[in-house]
Structure 1
Amino acid sequence: MYGETKKDLVEIIKKLCEMKQVNLIDGRVCIDHIHMYAAIPPKMSVSEFMLYLKGKSALMLFDRHPEYRNKWGERHFWARGYYVSTVGNVNEETIIKYIQEQEENDKLEEARK
């Protein structure tokens, strides 16, 4: 996901996080996935937020890029699962560094192909 799609996806995710009062601390859009560091309000479950984020972002992206609707189907953009970890066991700087390195690693991997 590069170019216009990446730009739109960043904008969409920021907007959706803001609407749910989720603090998006950092994130990177890679070729086929996203890394995010977010603070979700205690009243909201992680699964509830991910369902909202993936569902709404797909619909909003399809509105901006209808060609993806034909490519992956009406309601399929994201994979079914996601990975979540809490900051408690690792310090915040380590997580931010990891996320920031992901986009660069993705570009290096793509260049090797």
Structure 2
Amino acid sequence: MQCDTGKHCVFYHGYQIVWSTKYCYKVLSGALRLRVRDICRQVCTENRVSLLRGVLSSDHVHMFVSVPPKLAISDLVCKMKGRSSCRAQREFPAIRRRYRGCRFRGRAYFSTTNGAVTEDIVLQYLENHIADPTGASR
């Protein structure tokens, strides 16, 4: 565990975040998967969030992040989901046509801190998820 510093604080807020595509459609593949991954990284960089590990499967995004105390986790997820959905639909018109203008992402997300589970267990799970033959990418 490595702590970060702000102007007046030292912190480590580890969150596990998971969200799925709308109706669990398996659309995150190929170039779209890489683009969504890049967008999530950009949002994390802009908001000073440390992306410790992330996995994109064909139907969901799963990441482990360290978030500064001034940023609400709901705001971070909203930015990532909104920006990735908007840009993906703009850059990949087949998604918009296939889902009739609907966002390709679902509205809900899952978030938990790593208080009950150690960081090593979360990172080990994500490593095993990468090795799973479902087509996950880093």
TM-score normalised by L of structure 1? 0.85
CA-based RMSD of the aligned residues comes to 1.7
Aligned: 1:16 with 2:43 = yes
Q: Which moved more, 1:20-29 or 1:61-70?
A: 61-70
1:100 is matched with which residue: 121, 124, 127? 127
Higher fraction of helix: 1
% same residue: 25
Higher strand share: 2
User: Which of residues 31, 41, 65 in structure 2 aligns to 1:4?
Assistant: 31
Q: Post-superposition, which runs of at least 4 consecutive aligned residues in structure 1 deviate over 6 A?
A: none
SS of match in other structure, 1:107: coil
Displacement after TM superposition at 1:10 (Å): 1.1
TM-score by structure 2 length?
A: 0.71
Matches within 5 A, 1:61-80: 61-80=88-107
User: What count of residue pairs does the alignment treat as equivalent?
Assistant: 108
Query: Which structure's relative contact order is higher, taking Cα pairs within 8 Å and 6+ residues apart?
Result: 2
The runs of 5 or more residues in structure 1 that have no matched partner are 109-113
- Structure 2: state its 5+ residue gaps: 1-27
3-state DSSP class of the match of 1:84? strand
